[in-house]
Each structure stands twice: as structure tokens, then as C-alpha cells.
Amino acid sequence: MTQEVKLTVTLEAALAARLRAVAAERGWSAESLAAECIAQHLEVAIRHRTLVERLEQVDGAILDMAQAIGELGAPSAGIDLSKVCRLRKGDGVVDPVP
């Protein structure tokens, strides 16, 4: 059993008339067409919001990586930066051709 939420929508008279005319041409009720349009718009809005949140997460992760790389690259005593990379000469890594 699905639950429904009722909303009241107020439209300008000209828009309501266009909605009724388009719905009638297709054999639909104006209410069902409006409900479908609102549902589709809400789906798009939810997807957009999710994408924006994911982009913010990716931006945060890139910033964290940049800060870590900056800290690794900063001059310091006692850290052999050649051991930071997992790939070393002799591990099957081919040097670029000069």
C-alpha cells in the first residue's frame, strides 16, 4: 500500500488554462499531468542535489590529497621520499626513453 501526500498548487490563470488544454488533448486530467510534472521535477532536483554533494566530497578528497602531497614534498630531515612511491626501479617499471 503506497502512501500519498496531498499538495495544493496555485497556478496563474493562463498557465492553468494551458495545462487543462494540453491535458485534454491527450485525454488526461489536468491534475494528473500537473502531478506527473511535479514528480519528474522533484526526481531531477534530488539527482542534482546528490551530484552536488558527491562533487563536494570529491573536492574535499582532492584537497586532502594535495595537502598530503604538499606535506610529503616539504623539506624535512630524515624522510627518504624515494620510498614514498610504491613503484621503484627493478619492480618491473620501465624508465621512459630519453
Tell me which of 29 and 87 has the higher pLDDT: 29
Instruction: State yes or no: pLDDT of 79 exceeds 70.
Output: no
3-state secondary structure of 74: coil
Taking a C-beta distance cutoff of 8 angstroms, is the pair 72, 82 a contact? no
Instruction: State yes or no: pLDDT of 11 exceeds 60.
Output: yes
3-state secondary structure of 73: helix
- Indicate the pLDDT class of residue 30, thresholds 50, 70 and 90: very high
Which residues fall within 8 angstroms of residue 84, CB to CB, at 6 or more apart?
Answer: 72
Q: Output the pTM of the full model.
A: 0.56
What is the rounded average pLDDT of the residues 42-47?
97
